[in-house]
Amino acid sequence: MNMLKLNKLTDYAVVVLSRLSNHIGVVHTASEISDGTGLPLPTVSKILKLMAGSSLIESHRGINGGYSLCKDPNAVRVSEIIEALEGPIALTACVEGTTDHCSIEWSCPMRGNWNTVNEAIRSALDQVTLANLLDTGEIFPPKSVKEDPTQDDDAYQVALGFK
């Protein structure tokens, strides 16, 4: 069954942006982002390159170069993330704003009617922000917390809130 879905890069872009949202305006290298998210470096690099032209992240050149989030996560709409990676949100080739062309567009009785559905989806995506999608404390726990739950030392117990 086919369904409406985002590509993996868009999904991963949310992960990258959530990592950058931990420190808005702070410059992070692609390698740091990769290490912090667990995403492969080539994937992170590709996402950052695609998003560098958007108003979401800023590219910094030079010896201390890297990438930073330009906006507060509350101001980053999911629709902006999708468009930065996938282009205009368009369900069919005949929706206004698409770059695709339909071979029967000139005679199609549905021509333009998909705009209503497309606008409803676009409106819904405009209402959801990056901040709505994440709780950075839960997505990226502090590295000082041990990952082995069998450890029974005081620091681990405190980090989990048991002491």
- Domain positions in the chain: 1-76+131-163, 88-128
CA–CA distances in Å: residue 141 to residues 42, 50, 159: 24, 27, 10
Flag the least confident range among 3-17, 41-55, 57-71, 108-122: 108-122
Tens digits of per-residue pLDDT, 55-88? 899 999 988 889 999 899 999 999 999 999 988 8
Residue 134: the pLDDT is 80
* Percent residues over pLDDT 90 in the chain: 39
pLDDT at 15 over 90: yes
CA–CA separation, 94 vs 84, rounded Å?
21
Contact 14, 81 (CB under 8 A): yes
> Residue 35 is which amino acid?
D
What does pLDDT average to over the chain? Answer: 79
**pLDDT digit string, tens, across residues 27-40:** 999 999 999 999 99
CATH of range 1-76+131-163; options 3.40.630.40, 1.10.150.120, 1.10.3720.10, 1.10.10.10: 1.10.10.10
Please tell me the distance from the alpha carbon of residue 82 to that of residue 98, in angstroms, as a whole number. 14
113: pLDDT strictly greater than 80: no
pLDDT number for residue 160: 47
Please give the backbone phi and psi of residue 62, each rounded to the nearest 5 degrees, phi first: 105, -175
